[in-house]
Amino acid sequence: MLFQVKMDVQIPLDMPANTANEIKTIEKAYSQDLQRQGKWRHIWRITGQYSNISIFDVESNEELHSILQGLPLYPYMNITVTVLNKHPSSIREDDH
């Protein structure tokens, strides 16, 4: 199943910089591992915001939910999820 996920990050202003940097380092490793597995297919930064739009390819709603809750920055995110379906005019066989 394909999902578009918009993540808006709002790290508290009073969080120590070293704590924020440590969380971001762990988050990067976590997301890159999911990308290597093919579950996190695309990630794009939204210019001028601490936000991204990503495409996930997972087996179920539950798998996506688990992945998102596993993000180290999850407690500081507002997340919007949109389920994507293959368009009948698409020539890509791997869009499902």
Closest CA to 7 of 60, 72, 58: 72
Amino acid letter, residue 95: D
Query: Domain boundaries in the chain?
Result: 2-84
Q: Give φ, ψ of 12 to 5 degrees.
A: -55, 140
Query: Is the confidence at residue 66, as pLDDT, over 90?
Result: yes
28-54: pLDDT as tens digits:
999 999 999 999 999 999 999 999 999
Arithmetic mean of pLDDT, 82-89: 91
Q: What is the CATH number of domain 2-84?
A: 3.30.70.1060
54 DSSP β-pair partners: 5, 43
10-31: pLDDT as tens digits:
999 999 999 999 999 999 999 9
